[in-house]
Amino acid sequence: MEERDVVVVGAGIAGCSLASGVGEAGHDVLVVDAKPHFIPKVCSGLISVRIDSLISYPKKAIMNRIKGAKFFAGGEVSLELKRSSTQAYVMDRAVLDAYVIEETSRSCDVEFGWRLVNVERKNGFAVCILRKGDSIRKVKAKVVVGADGALSRVRRLLGVGKKLKILSAALAYVKDEMASDIVEIYYDGELAPGFFAWRIPRNDGIVEYGLGCEKGKAVKMLEKFCARFEHKLDRNEIKAGFIPLGLIDRSVDDNVILVGDAASQVKPFSGGGVIYSLICAKIGSEAIIRALQSGDYSKEFFSRNYENVWKKKIGTKIQVGMMIRKLFDSLSNDEVGELLKMIDENKELFLKVADMDFLGDDTL
């Protein structure tokens, strides 16, 4: 049987970042992805400037620079928060993801077309059962990383994460005009129940229209949202995906860890997952390197060296984010408007403490 130190399931930004860390330390890492070939992630690519201290990437991935946001409650503008400096980039995920995969391939084997169907634990190892068409491949590994996204199969096989909320989200690019350094966030309980709609200026006169909601109707709701701005979308132009929300009950087991969307390492208030995924991928790769050195692949080891460490960094932030999310969900459009106006009256204080990653300065 094929044997590897580590099998990473999912060649997204979380899986690749973790794999690179372990591969660069000289270990034998296989990254597999169910997609037939490289396809960039469906994502707005609105990523805080904190990314500069987490990974390298080609500067051409930056399509636009954002200084703030305008918040609307039921269609009416209630709050604008803006700083003088760039807070976030609008990044081209096709460029970013292609670069991340290329970098990962330098120290790891990255193979597309292989879907993980099962993980069996035997004699202190994990055996991954992978399928490509009619071919079945078994790979024995010391550690398996579930980096397989919001609907993670590895997470389901572990029987964890049952209380997570999985939102559906959709986006489309439209030729349109808006301020170039501000994103727009629309809270509207009817249009986007459980989340919000957005407009993000990209480059060359293109605006991204997007929407996330509970109960799986994001594509339909996005069409409604665009109709408000007199845009009719062709269904083929709409791209859809899923966003997990909430603090996962457990992200480790014997020989297995989860990372990225699979572990719901996502900001519940914005749905942004890139920064948290990168932070946790680094913690995960360090834990796996230590495990490979010590020969301890137990759930207890990964609890101590991975789960407790990442939850200490962002666990409370995810819980607080969920509380704010729930508060917004319980309010009518008018009440959200009132809340936004209250923030507006204390804008200076809010701008002092607010941080789009909820991290503060001491976290990295």
Ligand X SMILES: Cc1cc2nc3c(=O)[nH]c(=O)nc-3n(C[C@H](O)[C@H](O)[C@H](O)COP(=O)(O)OP(=O)(O)OC[C@H]3O[C@@H](n4cnc5c(N)ncnc54)[C@H](O)[C@@H]3O)c2cc1C
Where does this chain bind ligand X (CB under 6 A)? 9-15, 32-35, 41-47, 115-116, 147-149, 153, 169, 171, 210, 241-243, 260-262, 266, 271-274, 277
Question: Which tokens sit at 308?
Answer: 């407790």
CB of 244 to ligand X, least distance (A): 8
Does residue 244 contact residue 150 with C-beta atoms inside 8 Å? Answer: yes
CB of 364 to ligand X, least distance (A): 16
**CB closer to ligand X out of 42 and 206:** 42
Question: Which tokens sit at 162?
Answer: 């049952």
CB of 23 to ligand X, least distance (A): 16
Place of tokens 């391939």: 105
Residue 42's alpha-carbon distances to 168, 217, 300, in angstroms, are 12, 17, 35
CB of 332 to ligand X, least distance (A): 26
**CB closer to ligand X out of 73 and 185:** 185
Please count the other Cβ atoms lying within 10 Å of the Cβ belonging to residue 289.
Answer: 19
Sequence-ordered list of residues with C-beta below 8 angstroms from that of 226, at least 6 positions apart, any chain: 172, 174, 209, 232, 233
**CB closer to ligand X out of 272 and 321:** 272
∠ CA 227-229-235 to the nearest 5 degrees?
40
* Residue nearest ligand X by beta-carbon distance: 273
CB of 225 to ligand X, least distance (A): 13
**CB closer to ligand X out of 123 and 135:** 135
Residue 268 sits at φ, ψ, to 5 deg, of -65, -25
CB of 321 to ligand X, least distance (A): 13
**CB closer to ligand X out of 189 and 260:** 260
Burial letters for 137-150: b for 16+ Cβ neighbours within 10 Å, e otherwise?
Answer: eebbbbbbbbbbbb
Residue 216 to residue 231: CA distance in whole angstroms: 22
**CB closer to ligand X out of 213 and 292:** 213
